[in-house]
Amino acid sequence: MRLRLALASLLLAAAPASAQQQSQSYKFLEAIRKADGNAVIGILDQPGQTIINTRDVNSGESALHIVAKRGDMTYTQYLLARGADINARDSQGNTALMLAVEAGHADVVDLLASRRANANLGNKAGETPLLRAVQRRDLALVRALIAAGGNPDQTDYNGTSARGYVAADPRAGAIAKVMAETKKKAPANVSGPRL
């Protein structure tokens, strides 16, 4: 009998932790993952709701990251209209634009670029969406990202730029032509002390 009472009290003590797992943030991201439109709208339409940019505690992904990665144009447009941070970064430093490039979702890349997503935000490895498009040898994405302001001379943490990767890849003929036609960009001015 005592064992049963002890187990029951342990289960009751654990209830608040499981309830925390079912927070509004958790429910919202799960609804996004499941593409449950009614639940997403229901959560976002609650008065005073500021959950649009909530992040997954493990991956750092926002709802916009999730839908961009799966190439969901409808949800991407909806979340942007509701105020999603277009340049939010996940725990690896990836933006929604980077994830759309990685997955090859040209329509989502075009949408994010048209909404002024920063094409030069690098992830933790310093890779930009343009660098990733070059690595994928995706000519259409390379063109779209250059048109969106992607800098082919910005380097990753290895010190290699998109131009550098193209020059080292004998299979990148068409991309090499695009790079040759793209003017070099001066490095951005950085404020702070000069060393």
Residue type (1 letter), 122 = G
Sign, Cα dihedral of 37, 43, 47, 53:
negative
For the chain, state the CA radius of gyration. 22
Which tokens belong to 31? 């609804």
Half-sphere exposure of 97 (CA within 13 A, CB side): 32
- What pLDDT is recorded for position 132? 97
Q: Smallest Cα–Cα separation from 134: which of 172, 105, 187?
A: 172
Return the pLDDT at 6. 47
Residues 121 and 128 sit within 8 Å (Cβ to Cβ): yes
* pLDDT given for residue 12 in this prediction: 44
Q: Which of 153, 151, 129 is nearest to 141 (CA)?
A: 129
Q: What's the predicted TM-score (pTM) here?
A: 0.83
> Residue 22: its pLDDT value, please?
74
Tell me the pLDDT of the chain (195 aa) as tens digits.
Answer: 554 444 444 444 544 444 445 799 999 999 999 999 999 999 999 988 889 999 999 999 999 999 999 999 999 999 999 999 999 999 999 999 999 999 999 999 999 999 999 999 999 999 999 999 999 999 999 999 999 999 999 999 999 999 999 999 989 889 999 999 998 876 555 555 655
State the pLDDT at residue 188. 58
Q: Per CATH, which fold does 23-181 belong to?
A: 1.25.40
DSSP state of 151: -
pLDDT of residue 186: 61
- Domain segments of the chain as ranges: 23-181
